[in-house]
Structure 1
Amino acid sequence: MYIYYNRDQLILPMDLEILIPKHHLCRIVDLAVEKMDPALLVSLYPGGGRPAYHPKMMLKVILYAYANRIYSSRQIAKQLKENIYFMWLSGHQTPDFRTINRFRSERMKDIIYETFFSIVDLLRQEGLVKLEDYFLDGTKIEASANKYTFVWRKSTEKYDQKLEEKFRKIVASIEQVVKEDEESEQEGDFQEKLEASPITSEKIEAVIEQVEEHLKKEPKNRTLKKAKQQLEQDILPRKKKYEEYKKVLGERNSFSKTDPDATFMRMKDDHMKNGQLKPGYNVQIGTGNQFITGFSVHQRAGDAGCFIPHLEQLAAHGRPMPKRAIADSACGSEENYTYCEKKQIVVLIKYNTLDREQTKAWAKEIGRIENMTYDEELDEWICAKGERLVFVYKRKETTDNGYVIVKRTYRCTACAGCPFQAACAKGKDTKTIRVSLKNQQQRQEIRKRLSTEEGATTYRRRQIENEPVFGQIKHNQQFHRFSLRGLPKITLEWGLVCAAHNLRKWATTTDPTRKK
Structure 2
Amino acid sequence: MYIHYNRDQLILPMDLEILIPTHHLCRIVDLAVEKMDPALLVSLYPGGGRPAYHPKMMLKVILYAYANRIYSSRQIAKQLKENIYFMWLSGHQTPDFRTINRFRSERMKDVVYEMFFSIVDLLRQQGLVKLEDYFLDGTKIEANANKYTFVWRKSTERYDQKLEEKFRQIVASIEQVTKEDEEAEQRLDFQEQLEASPITSEAIEDVIEQVEERLKKEPKNRTLKKAKRQLEQDLLPRKKKYEEYQEVLGERNSFSKTDPDATFMRMKDDHMKNGQLKPGYNVQIGTEDQFITGFSVHQRAGDTGCFIPHLEQFAAYGRPLPKRVIADSAYGSEENYAYCEKQKITALIKYNTWDREQTKAWAKEIGRIEHMTYDEELDEWICAKGERLVFVYERKQKTENGYESIKRTYRCTACAGCPFQSQCAKGKETKTITVSLQNQKQRQEIRQRLATEEGMATYRKRQIEAEPVFGQIKHNQQFHRFSLRGLPKITLEWGLVCAAHNLKKWAYTIDPHRKKKKKTRS
Shorter-chain TM range is over 0.9
Q: Which residue of 2 aligns with 1:197?
A: 197
Q: What aligned pairs does 1:172-183 form with structure 2 within 5 A after superposition?
A: 172-183=172-183
Paired residues of 2:367 and 2:424 also in contact (CA < 8 A): yes
Q: Which residue of 2 aligns with 1:252?
A: 252
Q: Which residue of 2 aligns with 1:480?
A: 480
1:75 aligns with 2:71: no
Distance 1:338 1:186 in 2: 63
Paired residues of 1:415 and 1:429 also in contact (CA < 8 A): yes
Counterpart amino acid of residue 400 in structure 1:
E
Indicate the RMSD between aligned Cα atoms, in angstroms.
Answer: 1.1
Paired residues of 1:270 and 1:276 also in contact (CA < 8 A): no
Offset of residue 188 of structure 1: 5.0
Q: What aligned pairs does 1:213-224 form with structure 2 within 5 A after superposition?
A: 213-224=213-224
Paired residues of 1:150 and 1:255 also in contact (CA < 8 A): yes
Offset of residue 70 of structure 1: 0.2
Q: Which residue of 2 aligns with 1:93?
A: 93
Deviations along 1:46-74, whole A, 9 cap, x unmatched? Answer: 00000000000000000000000000000
Counterpart amino acid of residue 376 in structure 2:
E
Q: What aligned pairs does 1:340-359 form with structure 2 within 5 A after superposition?
A: 340-359=340-359
Distance 2:174 2:187 in 1: 13
Paired residues of 1:116 and 1:499 also in contact (CA < 8 A): yes
Partner SS state of residue 293, structure 1:
strand
Deviations along 1:458-507, whole A, 9 cap, x unmatched? Answer: 11110000011001100000000000000000000000000000000000
Q: What aligned pairs does 1:15-34 form with structure 2 within 5 A after superposition?
A: 15-34=15-34
Deviations along 1:294-324, whole A, 9 cap, x unmatched? Answer: 0000000000100000000111011110000
Q: Which residue of 2 aligns with 1:496?
A: 496
1:325 aligns with 2:325: yes
Offset of residue 357 of structure 1: 1.1
Offset of residue 272 of structure 1: 5.1
Distance 1:184 1:87 in 2: 84
Offset of residue 201 of structure 1: 0.3
Partner SS state of residue 505, structure 2:
helix
Distance 2:198 2:45 in 1: 47
Paired residues of 2:179 and 2:187 also in contact (CA < 8 A): no
Q: What aligned pairs does 1:374-453 form with structure 2 within 5 A after superposition?
A: 374-453=374-453
1:209 aligns with 2:226: no
Q: Which residue of 1 aligns with 2:362?
A: 362
Distance 2:42 2:181 in 1: 71
Paired residues of 2:290 and 2:466 also in contact (CA < 8 A): yes
Offset of residue 160 of structure 1: 0.4
Counterpart amino acid of residue 159 in structure 2:
Y
Deviations along 1:34-91, whole A, 9 cap, x unmatched? Answer: 0100000000000000000000000000000000000000000000000000000000
Paired residues of 2:415 and 2:431 also in contact (CA < 8 A): yes
Partner SS state of residue 473, structure 1:
helix
Q: What aligned pairs does 1:292-307 form with structure 2 within 5 A after superposition?
A: 292-307=292-307
Counterpart amino acid of residue 430 in structure 2:
T
Q: Which residue of 1 aligns with 2:105?
A: 105
Counterpart amino acid of residue 201 in structure 1:
S
1:261 aligns with 2:232: no
Q: Which residue of 1 aligns with 2:36?
A: 36
Q: Which residue of 2 aligns with 1:119?
A: 119
Counterpart amino acid of residue 130 in structure 1:
K
Counterpart amino acid of residue 343 in structure 2:
K
Distance 1:184 1:293 in 2: 74
Q: Which residue of 1 aligns with 2:162?
A: 162
Deviations along 1:248-304, whole A, 9 cap, x unmatched? Answer: 000000000000000000011147532210000000000011100000000000001
Q: Which residue of 1 aligns with 2:290?
A: 290
Distance 2:293 2:436 in 1: 34
Paired residues of 1:380 and 1:391 also in contact (CA < 8 A): yes
Paired residues of 1:389 and 1:412 also in contact (CA < 8 A): yes
1:462 aligns with 2:462: yes
1:58 aligns with 2:58: yes
Distance 1:374 1:92 in 2: 73
CA gap 1:184/1:93 in 2 versus in 1, 3 angstroms: farther
CA gap 1:126/1:272 in 2 versus in 1, 3 angstroms: closer
Distance 2:98 2:446 in 1: 52
Q: Which residue of 2 aligns with 1:239?
A: 239
Counterpart amino acid of residue 493 in structure 1:
E
Deviations along 1:147-176, whole A, 9 cap, x unmatched? Answer: 001000000000000000000000000111
Paired residues of 2:324 and 2:345 also in contact (CA < 8 A): yes
Partner SS state of residue 407, structure 2:
strand
Offset of residue 182 of structure 1: 3.4
Distance 1:373 1:178 in 2: 71
Offset of residue 4 of structure 1: 0.8
Distance 1:113 1:423 in 2: 53
CA gap 1:132/1:487 in 2 versus in 1, 3 angstroms: same
Counterpart amino acid of residue 491 in structure 2:
T
Partner SS state of residue 354, structure 2:
coil
Partner SS state of residue 296, structure 1:
strand
1:371 aligns with 2:371: yes
Distance 2:143 2:233 in 1: 34
Q: Which residue of 1 aligns with 2:520?
A: none
Paired residues of 2:393 and 2:409 also in contact (CA < 8 A): yes
Deviations along 1:397-431, whole A, 9 cap, x unmatched? Answer: 11000001100000011111111111111111111
Offset of residue 185 of structure 1: 3.2
CA gap 1:184/1:59 in 2 versus in 1, 3 angstroms: farther
Consecutive unaligned residues in structure 1, runs of 5 or more: none
Consecutive unaligned residues in structure 2, runs of 5 or more: 513-522
Counterpart amino acid of residue 361 in structure 1:
A
Give the TM-score, by structure 1 length.
Answer: 0.98
Distance 1:383 1:62 in 2: 62
Paired residues of 2:315 and 2:321 also in contact (CA < 8 A): yes
Paired residues of 2:264 and 2:280 also in contact (CA < 8 A): yes
**Number of matched pairs:** 512
Q: Which residue of 1 aligns with 2:518?
A: none
Distance 1:156 1:270 in 2: 32
Q: Which residue of 2 aligns with 1:337?
A: 337
Paired residues of 2:178 and 2:188 also in contact (CA < 8 A): no
Counterpart amino acid of residue 351 in structure 1:
Y
Paired residues of 1:179 and 1:185 also in contact (CA < 8 A): no
Distance 1:419 1:504 in 2: 63
Distance 2:43 2:471 in 1: 35
Distance 1:274 1:380 in 2: 45
Distance 1:404 1:197 in 2: 31
